[in-house]
Amino acid sequence: MTKYVYDFAEGGMELKDLLGGKGGNLAEMVRLGLPVPPGFTVTTDACRAYLRTGDEPFGLADEIGLHLERLERQAGRRLGDTADPLLVSVRSGAKFSMPGMMETILNVGLTDATVAGLAGQTGGDARFAWDSYRRLIQMYGRTVCDVPGDRFDAALDAAKAAKGTTDDLGLDAADLRALVGTYKDIFRAHTGRDFPQDPREQLDRSIRAVFQSTCATSSSPSSAASCGCCRPGSASGPRRPRSSSPRSSSTTASSTWTRR
């Protein structure tokens, strides 16, 4: 049976055709004994199978589930836990550098039920938690569901104008909570469905978005997906043009560090 998911502790740069540049480099760092947050990589073989059939290859979901359980044990948190949620980032990567292939999706795992848990992780910082949540909706909507980014930008500008500020930091927790509601309305209006409240669905659809993002780059594309640690609430830059070169990409889904 084909192996589609590799732990960061498996392989190295000799497998970058399979793991992508990010996945290969992360594995190499683990091999060298450098401090690397736990995670896993979904291979380019999985991407090719997905693009060939239009569906995930048999066994991929179960493999991701097993590696996710290991990640949860290593991180000491569980995806979807309302009290102490594990958050995940999803990144694409290629055998060779491909700037602009797909925007990183941060804070996967935040939902209406887990946002309070993130606030608890950060010493009761509700503003930080709601800001992280609204960023997830924006990144996920724009990257996974093709919601026009300017719709979210306009809503943020309107919220700042109503508050009488030109700086994001001028919005407090209540303002950001209201903005989350506005972002969810934008998401629903464009997609015809509510923003997903199942963290595993968020993760799976983010990984598939990496696979799908390669379709515009080549007649024979392939991607890999790597899962490890990031910091929640990080800013995300504007979506850049996709590369036109026929290269493989990888997705990185990682457990998230929070401020203590």
Task: Establish if 205 belongs to a structural domain.
Answer: yes
Q: Please tell me the distance from the alpha carbon of residue 120 to that of residue 85, in angstroms, as a whole number.
A: 10
pTM of the model: 0.85
The answer to the question of residue 260 being in a domain is no
**Cα–Cα distance, 117 to 190 (Å, whole number):** 29
- CA 40 to the chain's CA centroid: 13
Range of the domain at 38: 5-255
CA distance 251 to 143: 13
Q: Which residue has the tokens 């026009």?
A: 148
Split into its structural domains, the chain has a count of 1
- Pick from 65, 17, 10: nearest CA to 38: 10
Does some domain include residue 11? yes
Assigned domain for 39 exists: yes
Establish if 247 belongs to a structural domain: yes
Query: Within 10 Å of residue 66's Cβ, how many Cβ atoms?
Result: 12
What's the CATH number where 59 sits?
3.30.1490.20
Residue 19 lies in a domain: yes
Residue 225 falls within a domain, yes or no? Answer: yes
H or E segment to which residue 108 belongs = strand 105-108
| In a domain? residue 246 | yes
CA distance 68 to 45: 19
Q: What is the pLDDT along the chain (260 residues), one digit of tens a residue?
A: 899 999 999 989 999 889 988 889 999 999 999 998 888 999 999 998 999 999 999 999 999 999 999 999 999 999 999 999 999 988 887 666 665 567 789 999 999 999 999 999 999 999 999 999 999 999 999 999 999 999 999 999 999 999 999 999 999 999 999 999 999 999 999 999 999 999 999 999 999 998 888 664 444 456 676 665 554 443 333 333 333 333 333 455 555 444 43
Residue showing tokens 């978005």? 209
Q: Do 140 and 202 form a contact (C-beta atoms < 8 A)? A: yes
Paired tokens of 25: 């480099």
Give the pLDDT of residue 104: 83
CA–CA distances in Å: residue 53 to residues 21, 46, 57, 247, 249: 25, 11, 8, 20, 18
CA 61/CA 42 separation, integer angstroms: 10
pLDDT of residue 224: 74
Residue 28 CB: number of other CB atoms within 10 A?
Answer: 19
The answer to whether 28 touches 13, Cβ cutoff 8 Å, is yes
Looking at residue 185, its pLDDT comes to 98
